[in-house]
């Protein structure tokens, strides 16, 4: 039962002290009376009841931050339309919490809504209560200032209680959700106490292979550049060294360093050229074709792969940390698997000189030299700004200096620009019409088109206005489809489940971006191992490869453990991401949070992800009819690096909770 609460009377201590005009709420079993909002705002629990927070709230998932006991997600008193609840749980959409009841409870009650601290923001949340796999309560979308809702549901004889918070269908920005005064009433004081369900942690479904000593070429099979603009491409290769490189049919204007595998120069003419690359090592020789396209706006033919500073360093990024990351890209071997960008995020800026030219702060004393250093390694150099007056971190942004900044970036050798909406909200003044959303990106796109180098243009505006539908025509090479990712299951689950349908808008040169990778040591300056469990990380990497997402590592490159390296360097998975056909995966079936995602590949095979978003292992089936193939098909498991045999019509496998089995189905041409 859900009842809107329309009138509160409060004492100075903010506790509700008077009866509220509500219908009588009676339990349907054993005549147990439901708690009223007044009961739930008291300092002590109702008779025979325990507060929800007495269970292990650390098991609650949230889309941002960590759920808090008796506080909001931001650490403030739980407040719904002016009423403070001394007990309860503050969380952030999307959120879920599974409680084991052992048949000893009779009722769950809570007052729910978007916390008052979200006033002035476009927050929206929904609350759902599921008892023994049946939804028994669902609120409408609740926004800041809306009347909170009293939820009261019968639990008599129930085994499981699942509490969920949704994002209201418009993203998770500021979706601070309160379970105010949440209480579970027991049949008696002797009843077994509720306890948080702990998701079973099975070993990661992944085999770390022994490095192959034979030479191999990896990464993109196609790349594009504007004739006359600087060209830089490091041939990604692995194998026992020393490695030497050669190329047949290089276009005019390009040269290859045989010792480093770095191709530089500038195309003299437009056109498409197939180049035969060869790498030789101590254990043999490997060849591969690289297609080079010369023409206007031909960058990002495959999703960019590299590293970005934000998810690990936040505003504490420094030149030394960026250089160390670039060095480690080579020393770890990840450059040999196709990672090529080193991107500085926010916190490099330091105002403007008398002529309005953007300056760097003391952490980056010579940014041109830093760019040269990165280029000297055969890697590309990225930077960050905002179309507003300030960046997200409060630093100088590009508003009304777009061409000046584009000229500076070109002079510094920048190859990639992440452009973050942030304070442009103050310029737009709440106008989220399509022309308003497009305007700042059109302005910077025009500025970038006038400089003498190719700069990948990455929109960071969180998916507003269905950016995937218009990002390409506005000059974007990629665009964020979501809010910022966090290193927790709630965030990851919300992001990947909301990508369905976006795939039709992406392809070579323009990609959906569900944000950066959250594996390894992360933390936005407060570093720690990712809170994503190993199988969640496997799902994360699998989905980003299936979706043709930019693969920007967000961790401390100097502390890469074997598991993280295995995740990031699986060439069979990376080949899906970098497939030259450029057709991101679609969700072909879904049922009860168990999905099948699939995409065709250039060699005639299909990549398939069996994705289990539930809290228990589950058997999931890929059916050939859903993929558009017939007859017996060979199946290969890409995380186990194992051929499984040929199967007629379908293939089924048990997938770990919060896990993914990544398959390649069919025979290459």
Q: Structure tokens of 391?
A: 């960046």
Q: Which member of 115, 407, 420, 487 is catalytic?
A: 420
The distance from CA 166 to its chain's CA centroid, rounded to whole angstroms, is 17
The residues, any chain, with a CB within 8 Å of residue 607's CB and separated by 6 or more, are 545, 546, 576, 579, 585, 598, 599, 601, 662, 663, 664, 665
Q: Which member of 484, 487, 575, 615 is catalytic?
A: 484
> Is 643 labeled as catalytic in the residue annotation?
no
Residue carrying structure tokens 């590949």: 601
Dist CA 59 CA 488 (whole Å):
11
Dist CA 615 CA 657 (whole Å):
5
The residues, any chain, with a CB within 8 Å of residue 433's CB and separated by 6 or more, are none
- DSSP letter for each residue of 130-179: EETTEEEEE---B-TTSPPEEEEEE-TT--EEEEEEE-TTS--TT-EEEE
- DSSP letter for each residue of 242-286: --EEEEESPPTTEEE-TTT-EEEE--SS-EEEEEEEEEEETTEEE
- Per DSSP, 126 falls in state E
H/E run at residue 440:
helix 434-449
Dist CA 495 CA 518 (whole Å):
12
- Bridge partners for 184 per DSSP: 50, 108
- Residues 471/510, Cβ–Cβ less than 8 Å: yes
Q: Structure tokens of 61?
A: 């998932």
Dist CA 576 CA 303 (whole Å):
11
- Residues 489/537, Cβ–Cβ less than 8 Å: no
3-state secondary structure 446-466: HHHHCCCCCCEEEEECCCCCC
- H runs (alpha helix) in 450-570: 489-497, 534-546, 562-568
Dist CA 220 CA 233 (whole Å):
10
Question: How much is the CA Rg of the chain, to the nearest whole Å?
Answer: 27
For residue 404, the SS3 value is: helix
Residue 669: is it exposed, middle or buried by C-beta count within 10 angstroms (0-12/13-18/19+)?
exposed
Which CA distances in Å does 177 have to 64, 74, 89, 280? 11, 11, 9, 58
- Residues 150/2, Cβ–Cβ less than 8 Å: yes
- Residues 249/273, Cβ–Cβ less than 8 Å: yes
φ, ψ of residue 2 to 5 degrees: the values are -125, 130
What's the number of CA atoms in the CB half-sphere (13 Å) around residue 619?
A: 5
Q: Structure tokens of 562?
A: 């074997």
- DSSP letter for each residue of 303-323: --EEEESHHHHGGG--HHHHH
Dist CA 58 CA 52 (whole Å):
12
- Residues 462/495, Cβ–Cβ less than 8 Å: no
- Residues 94/172, Cβ–Cβ less than 8 Å: yes
Q: Structure tokens of 614?
A: 């539930």
Dist CA 573 CA 591 (whole Å):
25
Residue 440: which of 456, 460, 412 has the closest Cα? 460
> Is 420 labeled as catalytic in the residue annotation?
yes
Positions marked active-site: 420, 484
């Amino acid at each position: 039962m859900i009842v809107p609460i329309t009138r509160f009377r409060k004492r100075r201590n903010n506790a509700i002290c008077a009866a509220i005009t509500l219908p009588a709420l009676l339990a349907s079993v054993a005549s147990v009376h439901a708690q009223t909002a007044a009961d739930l705002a008291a300092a002590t629990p109702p008779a025979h009841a325990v507060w929800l927070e007495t269970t292990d709230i650390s098991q609650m998932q949230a889309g941002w931050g960590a759920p808090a006991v008796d506080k909001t997600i931001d650490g403030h008193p739980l407040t719904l339309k002016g009423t403070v609840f001394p007990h309860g749980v503050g969380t952030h959409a999307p959120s879920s919490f599974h409680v084991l009841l052992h048949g000893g409870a009779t009722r769950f009650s809570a007052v729910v809504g978007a916390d008052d601290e979200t006033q002035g923001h476009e927050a929206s949340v929904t609350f759902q209560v599921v008892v023994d796999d049946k939804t028994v309560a669902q609120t409408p979308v609740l926004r800041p200032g809306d009347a909170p809702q009293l939820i009261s549901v019968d639990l008599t004889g129930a085994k499981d209680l699942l509490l969920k918070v949704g994002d209201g269908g418009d993203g998770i920005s500021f979706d601070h959700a309160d379970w105010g005064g949440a209480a579970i009433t027991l049949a008696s004081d002797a009843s077994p106490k509720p306890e948080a369900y702990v998701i079973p942690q099975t070993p990661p479904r992944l085999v770390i292979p022994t490095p192959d000593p034979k030479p191999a070429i990896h990464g993109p099979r196609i790349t594009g550049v504007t004739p006359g603009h600087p060209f830089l491409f490091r041939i990604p290769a692995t194998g026992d060294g020393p490695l030497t490189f050669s190329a047949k049919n290089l276009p005019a204007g390009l040269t290859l360093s045989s010792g480093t595998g770095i191709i530089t120069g500038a195309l003299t003419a437009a056109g498409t050229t197939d180049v035969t690359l060869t790498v030789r090592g101590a254990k043999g020789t490997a060849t591969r074709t690289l297609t080079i396209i010369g023409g206007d706006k031909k960058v990002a033919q495959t999703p960019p792969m590299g590293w970005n500073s934000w998810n690990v360093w936040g505003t504490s990024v420094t030149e030394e940390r960026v250089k160390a990351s670039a060095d480690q890209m080579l020393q770890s071997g990840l450059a040999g698997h196709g990672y090529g960008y080193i991107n500085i995020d926010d916190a490099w800026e330091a105002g403007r000189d008398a002529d309005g030219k953007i300056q760097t702060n003391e952490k980056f004393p010579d940014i041109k030299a830093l760019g040269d250093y990165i280029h000297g390694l055969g890697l590309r150099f990225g930077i960050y700004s905002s179309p507003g007056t300030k960046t997200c971190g409060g630093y100088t942004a590009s508003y009304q200096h777009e061409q000046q900044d584009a000229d500076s970036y070109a002079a510094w050798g920048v190859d990639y620009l992440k452009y973050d909406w942030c304070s442009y909200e103050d310029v737009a003044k709440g106008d989220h019409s399509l022309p308003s959303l497009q305007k700042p990106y059109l302005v910077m796109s025009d500025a970038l088109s006038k400089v003498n180098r190719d700069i990948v243009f990455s929109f960071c505006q969180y998916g507003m206005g269905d950016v995937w539908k218009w990002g390409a025509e506005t000059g974007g090479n990629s665009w964020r489809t979501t809010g910022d990712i966090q290193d927790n299951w709630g965030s990851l689950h919300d992001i990947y489940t909301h990508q369905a349908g976006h795939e039709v808008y992406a392809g070579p040169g323009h990609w959906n971006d569900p944000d950066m990778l959250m594996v390894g040591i992360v933390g936005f300056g407060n570093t720690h191992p990712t809170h994503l469990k190993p199988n969640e990380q496997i799902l994360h990497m699998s989905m980003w490869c299936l979706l043709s997402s930019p693969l920007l590592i967000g961790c401390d490159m100097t502390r890469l453990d074997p598991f993280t390296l295995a995740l990031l360097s699986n060439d069979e998975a990376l080949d899906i991401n970098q497939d030259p056909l450029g057709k991101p995966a679609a969700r072909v079936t879904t049922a009860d949070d168990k999905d099948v995602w699939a995409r065709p590949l250039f060699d005639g095979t299909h990549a398939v992800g069996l994705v289990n978003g539930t809290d228990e292992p589950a058997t999931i089936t890929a059916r050939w009819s859903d993929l558009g193939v017939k007859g017996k098909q060979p199946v290969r498991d890409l995380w186990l690096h194992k051929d499984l045999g040929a199967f007629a019509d379908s293939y089924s496998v048990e997938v770990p909770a919060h896990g993914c089995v990544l398959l390649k189905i069919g025979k290459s041409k």
